[in-house]
C-alpha cells in the first residue's frame, strides 16, 4: 500500500451498523483510496501495512456517514414555510403555483442550484427528489453534476385533479420520460439516477398509472410516490378508484409496487395495506417534520421498526428544514425510540431502501467514502447515545465543516 494512494483523516467517528447499534470511536481513523473507497475505519492505531497521506482538519471533529434524504421536492424550494392549510389546500394555495416556475429553464437552473447547495450545507450527500417538467429534470441533472452530489431525480407525473398549467398529456410525457431514461442510462453516472414519480393516485388516471408502471418495469427505474398521507387524500382516492379495495391496491393494480418503489408517509395504512407493501418489498419513507407541519397524523413506527427498508425524508417544502438532524429530532418527538435508529434511517436504512447498502450508508471497508465532518464542542462524550443526543437536539448549533462524496470534498464549494 503506497502512502500517496491513500488518504487518512483522524477524528471521533460515529458509525451506524444497524438500527440498534452505532459504534462510537472517540479516537478514530478513516482511510480511503484515491478512487474514493474506504480501506479502513476504526481506532487510530498503528496497523501493519496501513500507509496514508494525512488529511488535516483543524479543531475537534466528529465524522459521520453522508446523510441520505429519501423524500424531498426540489421544485417546492421557494414554498418552504408557507402554511395555514392541511395537505390538499396547501397544495392548491402554495405548492402548485411554486412548481410552475420549473417550466422556465433559467428558473429551473436557479432553484436546482440553490437546492443542492442547501443539501450539502447540511451534510446531505444523497437526495431522492421530485421535480417538475422536462426542463426541471434536465436542470436538476446538470446542477447535481456540478455539485458532485448523489441523487435520484424524479419527474412528477399527473394528468388530472391539478391546475391546467401542471396537467400532462400522458403519451407525450411518457415519451419525454423514455428519452430522459435513455439520457441517464447512456451517460451513466454512479451518482445520478432517474425515477418516475406519479404525484399521488388522485392526480393520475388509470391509463397514466398503467403507462408509468410499464415504463418503470421496462427500464428498471425507481418509482417515487405518496401513500396514505392525509385522510382527505384517502377519501379522494376512493372517489377516483371506486372499484379498487384500498389505496395501496391502486398502485399495485398498475404495477407500481416494486422493490424499487419508495412510498412516502404511509401514515393511515390498514393491516392489509401494510402486508401488501411489505410483500412487494417497497421502501417506506417516514417524513416526521412534514407530518407535523401539515398535521397529517402520526407515523405508526411500531408497525415498521423491524422493516429493513425504512428511511427518513425531509419532505421539503412541507418539511421546513434541509437538516436531517432536524428530521431525526422530529422523528423522536413523534415516536419515542432509540437515537441510533434515527441515525440508521438517515444513513444505512436509506441506502437499503435504495438497494445501495453494499456501496453506501456507513463507514465500512469496501464502501464509498461519503462522510461529513461535524464541528464538535468541547463536551466529553461517553457513548454513541451521548453524541447523538447532543447533535440531534442541539442541531442548530451543529456545523457541517466539510462534506466528502467518494473521497472528494464537495462542501464548502470553492469558487471557480
Quote the DSSP letter at residue 152.
Answer: E
The 10 Å CB-count burial string (b at 16+, else e) for 105-142 is eebbbbbbbebbbbbbbbbbbbbbbbbbbbbbbbbbbe
CA–CA separation, 308 vs 386, rounded Å?
A: 25
pLDDT band at 3 (very low <50, low <70, confident <90, very high): low
Higher-confidence residue of 152 and 414: namely 152
Q: Domain 3-65+362-411, what fold?
A: Urease, subunit C; domain 1 (2.30.40)
Average the pLDDT over 311-330 and give the result: 98
Average the pLDDT over 204-225 and give the result: 98
Q: Which of 62-71, 183-192, 229-238, 358-367 has the lowest mean pLDDT?
A: 183-192
Q: Where in the chain is the domain with CATH 2.30.40.10?
A: 3-65+362-411
Q: Return the pLDDT at 403.
A: 98
Would the pLDDT of 32 be above 90? Answer: yes
67-84 pLDDT, tens digit each: 999 999 999 999 999 988
pLDDT band at 355 (very low <50, low <70, confident <90, very high): very high
Average the pLDDT over 367-396 and give the result: 90
- What lies within 8 Å, CB to CB, of 341 at 6+ separation is 19, 20, 305
Q: Which of 2-11, 221-230, 356-365 has the lowest mean pLDDT?
A: 2-11
Q: Return the pLDDT at 49.
A: 85
Average the pLDDT over 251-262 and give the result: 98
Q: Return the pLDDT at 184.
A: 95
Would the pLDDT of 1 be above 60? Answer: no
Q: Return the pLDDT at 415.
A: 56
Q: Domain 67-322, what fold?
A: TIM Barrel (3.20.20)
Q: Return the pLDDT at 412.
A: 94
- What lies within 8 Å, CB to CB, of 334 at 6+ separation is 288, 291, 292, 298, 299, 301
Pairing, β 53-55 against β 6-16: parallel
Average the pLDDT over 348-359 and give the result: 98
Q: Return the pLDDT at 398.
A: 87
Q: Where in the chain is the domain with CATH 3.20.20.140?
A: 67-322
Amino acid at each position: 500500500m503506497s502512502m500517496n494512494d491513500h488518504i487518512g483523516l483522524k477524528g471521533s467517528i460515529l458509525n451506524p451498523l444497524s438500527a440498534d447499534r452505532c459504534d462510537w470511536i472517540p479516537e478514530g481513523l478513516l482511510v480511503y483510496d484515491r478512487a474514493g473507497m474506504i480501506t479502513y475505519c476504526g481506532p487510530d492505531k498503528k496497523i501493519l501495512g496501513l500507509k496514508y497521506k494525512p488529511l488535516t482538519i483543524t479543531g475537534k471533529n466528529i465524522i459521520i456517514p453522508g446523510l441520505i434524504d429519501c423524500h424531498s421536492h426540489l421544485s417546492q424550494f421557494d414554498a418552504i414555510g408557507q402554511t395555514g392549510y392541511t395537505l390538499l389546500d396547501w397544495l392548491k394555495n402554495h405548492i402548485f403555483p411554486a412548481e410552475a416556475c420549473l417550466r422556465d429553464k433559467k428558473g429551473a437552473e436557479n432553484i436546482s442550484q440553490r437546492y443542492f447547495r442547501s443539501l450539502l450545507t447540511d451534510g446531505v450527500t444523497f437526495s431522492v427528489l421530485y421535480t417538475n417538467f422536462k426542463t426541471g429534470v434536465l436542470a436538476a441533472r446538470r446542477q447535481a453534476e456540478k455539485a458532485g452530489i448523489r441523487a435520484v431525480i424524479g419527474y412528477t407525473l399527473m394528468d388530472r385533479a391539478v391546475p391546467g398549467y401542471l396537467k400532462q398529456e400522458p403519451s407525450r410525457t411518457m415519451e419525454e420520460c423514455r428519452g430522459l431514461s435513455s439520457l441517464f442510462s447512456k451517460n451513466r453516472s454512479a451518482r445520478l439516477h432517474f425515477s418516475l414519480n406519479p404525484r399521488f393516485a388522485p392526480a393520475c388516471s388509470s391509463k397514466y398509472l398503467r403507462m408509468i408502471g410499464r415504463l418503470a418495469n421496462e427500464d428498471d427505474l425507481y418509482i417515487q410516490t405518496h401513500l396514505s398521507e392525509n385522510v382527505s387524500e384517502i377519501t379522494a382516492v376512493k372517489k377516483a378508484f371506486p372499484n379498487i379495495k384500498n389505496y395501496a391496491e391502486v398502485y399495485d393494480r398498475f404495477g407500481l409496487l416494486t422493490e424499487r418503489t419508495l412510498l412516502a408517509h404511509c401514515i393511515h395504512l390498514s393491516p392489509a395495506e401494510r402486508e401488501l407493501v411489505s410483500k412487494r418489498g417497497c421502501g417506506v419513507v417516514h417524513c416526521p417534520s412534514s407530518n407535523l407541519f401539515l398535521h397529517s397524523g402520526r407515523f405508526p413506527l411500531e408497525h415498521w421498526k423491524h422493516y429493513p427498508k425504512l428511511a427518513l425524508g425531509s419532505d421539503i417544502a412541507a418539511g421546513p428544514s434541509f437538516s436531517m438532524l432536524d428530521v431525526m429530532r422530529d422523528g423522536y418527538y413523534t415516536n419515542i425510540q432509540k437515537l441510533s435508529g434515527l441515525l440508521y434511517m438517515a444513513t444505512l436504512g436509506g441506502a437499503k431502501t435504495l438497494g445501495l447498502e453494499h456501496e453506501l450508508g456507513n463507514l465500512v471497508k469496501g464502501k464509498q467514502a461519503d462522510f461529513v465532518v461535524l464541528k464538535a464542542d468541547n463536551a466529553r462524550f461517553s457513548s454513541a447515545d451521548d453524541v447523538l443526543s447532543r447533535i440531534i437536539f442541539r442541531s442548530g448549533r451543529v456545523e457541517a465543516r466539510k462534506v466528502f462524496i467518494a473521497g472528494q470534498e464537495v462542501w464548502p464549494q470553492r469558487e471557480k
